[in-house]
Chains A and B, each alone.
Chain A
Amino acid sequence: MTLEPFFALTPQQPWYNCPSAEESAPGVTAFVNVWNMSALAWGGAGGTKPTLETQLEEGWVYMSGGTAAPYDEDTGNVIASRERSQIVEIGFQAANVDARNQFLVVIGLHAFGEHALVRVALYRSVLRTDHLRPGDNTLAVLIDCPHDRAWIYLDLKHVKMPDGKASAFGFKGITGYLL
Chain B
Amino acid sequence: MARIIIVKSAQLKIYLARFEQLLAQDPAERARLNDIETRHEANGKRTPPARVAPPHQESDQQP
Contacts and interface: CB of A to CB of B under 8 A. Distances in A.
A83 to B, nearest CB: 4
Contact of B56 (A31, A69, A78): A69
Contact of B19 (A67, A112, A116, A123): A123
Nearest to B57: A67
Among B22, B36, B51, B60, max chain A CB count under 10 A is at: B36
Interface in A59-84: 64-70, 78, 81, 83-84
A146 interface: yes
Nearest to B51: A83
Interface string A30-61: 11010110100100000010000000000000
Interface in A12-35: 14-17, 29-31, 33, 35
A140 B62 contact: no
B55 A146 contact: no
A142 B19 CA distance: 19
Contact of A83 (B7, B8, B43, B52): B52
Nearest to A141: B5
Contacts of B8: 144
A113 interface: yes
Most buried by A among B22, B43, B59: B59
B61 A165 contact: yes
Contact of A35 (B13, B44, B50): B50
Contact of A89 (B9, B12, B50, B63): B50
Contacts of B52: 35-36, 83-84
Contacts of A143: 7, 12
Interface of B: 1-9, 12-16, 18-19, 22, 33, 36-37, 40-41, 43-47, 50-63
19 contacts: A15-B44, A15-B46, A17-B43, A17-B44, A29-B41, A31-B46, A36-B56, A64-B63, A67-B57, A84-B53, A84-B55, A86-B56, A124-B15, A124-B22, A138-B2, A144-B8, A144-B12, A146-B16, A165-B61
